[in-house]
Amino acid sequence: MGLGFLAVGAFVAYDGFVAYYAPQLATTVDKSANPGVTTLFIGGLMGLLGLVITVIGVLGARHPFRIAGQAVSETLRSKAFHKGVIALACIAVYFFIFWSRLPYVVSTFLFLAGTMAIFKAGAWWKVALISAVTVATVWYVFGVLAMIPLP
């Protein structure tokens, strides 16, 4: 985990460095207001904290890779992990298949009803009613009242 944060922090810090010295911003933006400064700071802080987490993990566990291997194998066999994979698959279907082919109201109703049915949220009529009320409320509040274009 710490190595992952360290890697992401290094990548973000590098992007901040590139933005700080970008020729497009050199003449138009004051150095203190340059977006690269914030990005560099956040990336550096994330990298430093990733390094600290890594050191603490290695010193505290003595055998971090063996313990991580056991944790990963237990996680892959757990019921909660399988439910999470199913939920991510439902979200992927919703975004990558439904949104490009169906109107928002229809795709969101199918997503909500399908996800609740897969996870056995209740009787079919309750699932349909909750999905319909939720979609209608979101559509009316955001699409009609707030005039936010829905996908």
51 and 63 share one domain:
yes
118 and 72 share one domain:
no
For 17-45, what is each residue's pLDDT tens digit? 887 777 776 666 676 667 777 888 888 89
Looking at residue 139, the DSSP 8-state letter turns out to be I
For 90-135, what is each residue's pLDDT tens digit? 999 999 988 888 898 999 999 999 999 998 888 999 999 999 999 9
51 and 99 share one domain:
no
Mean pLDDT of 48-52: 89
Mean pLDDT of 4-24: 84
Give the end of a domain, one of 35, 51, 77.
77
Give the end of a domain, one of 77, 93, 127.
77
For 55-86, what is each residue's pLDDT tens digit? 887 777 677 677 777 888 888 888 888 988 99
119 and 133 share one domain:
yes
**Residue 58: which residues within 8 A CB-CB, separation 6 or more?**
64
- Domain of residue 21, residue span: 2-77
Whether 35 is covered by a domain: the verdict is: yes
Whether 150 is covered by a domain: the verdict is: no
Can you give the pLDDT at residue 89? 93
Give the end of a domain, one of 54, 77, 100.
77
19 and 66 share one domain:
yes
91 and 64 share one domain:
no
Neighbour-count burial of 144, counting CB atoms closer than 10 A to its CB (0-12 exposed, 13-18 middle, 19+ buried): exposed
Q: How many domains does the chain have?
A: 2
8 and 72 share one domain:
yes
- Of the candidates 15, 12, 17, 4, which has an alpha carbon nearest to the alpha carbon of residue 51? 4
Measured CA to CA, the distance from residue 91 to residue 95 in angstroms comes to 6
Whether 84 is covered by a domain: the verdict is: yes
Can you give the pLDDT at residue 27? 63
Whether 7 is covered by a domain: the verdict is: yes
